[in-house]
Amino acid sequence: MPMLLSVSVGTGVQTLTMSVITMAFAVLGFLSPANRGGLLTATLLLFVLMGVPAGYFSAHTYKSVKGTEWKKATLMTALLWPGVVVGAFFVLNFFIWGQASSGAMPLGTMLALLLMWFGISTPLVFVGAFFGFKAKLADPPTRTNEIPRQIPAQAWYMGPMFNILMGGILPFGAIFIELFFIMTSVWLQRFYYVFGFLALVLLILVITCSEIAVVPATSSSATRTTSGGGAPSSRRARRASTSSPTRSCTFSPSSTSSASCPHSSTSPTCSSLPCSSSSSSSLAPSSCEMP
């Protein structure tokens, strides 16, 4: 799981930086939809070149969780999620080839994409990972207790499936309307020019994803803290036992036998101490002290 988290963080940073730069150029008018293929080509090139921040943040995240297999983590950052997208695209393209459609991507273009992926993006990911592992980790904002304690059972709404569903549904709801217009323009062969509004929707999406990432983690931590467990109660019990005052009495030998504590009435500090009688020589408390 730590490796998958670091891989997802790296690919997310790569996609976010690519989207922000592409949107900025489109809003400024450098990438016009009238130039067919220009926007898509710029998007692919930026995604390939953003392998450096992807490797950096992936390696830095993996280092913060005490990971040791940095080569495997870097390789998965370069191949896992891009491989899923490229694999799905190639399968769909093969179906289009089977229908003898003119919209199918030529074999040369597919080989060029693979060459860009393995020849440019993957080495850049390793370069970013090198600097990410060399970078110094920031100090944690809070002190972490090194003594592990029992994690209590979580509520049903704190389970992984519910968090996964909420983490996907809410961001999708934030961009659903604008995504509908984009898909309509793609399928109906129309030009999409509303990049200013699309940049605003992208900002809303980033804020929504940030809040969705923070809220479940905060709720889970608060639930674990307030629910307690076995260890905190035992620590409180030990603190209470060590902080309570203890009574001690110094006994001196007495020649007379006694069946009761002679100082029980005069010394209130020893009134609760039991005294036992002895046939030969009893031990009578002669002095009491409170530490």
The residue-averaged pLDDT of 97-117 equals 88
Mean pLDDT of 143-159: 77
Give me the pLDDT at residue 114, please.
Answer: 93
Question: At 61, phi and psi to the nearest 5?
Answer: -65, -40
Question: Global pTM?
Answer: 0.68
Query: Residue 46 has what pLDDT?
Result: 94
Question: Which residues on neighbouring strands pair with residue 166, listed in sequence order?
Answer: none
DSSP bridge pairs for 253? 283
Bridge partners (DSSP) of residue 288 are 249
Domain boundaries, the chain: 1-137, 160-223
Sequence-distant (6+) residues with CB within 8 A of 148 are none
Task: Work out the widest C-alpha separation in the chain, in whole angstroms.
Answer: 118
- Give SS3 for 192: coil
DSSP state of 148: -
Cβ 168 vs Cβ 178: under 8 Å: no
Higher per-residue pLDDT: 148 or 198: 198
The more confident residue out of 153 and 57 is: 57
d(CA 151, CA 72): 30
Which has the minimum average pLDDT: 10-14, 130-134, 167-171?
167-171
The β-bridge relationship of strands 282-289 and 248-254 is antiparallel
pLDDT band at 290 (very low <50, low <70, confident <90, very high): very low
pLDDT in tens, 76-96: 999 999 999 999 999 999 898
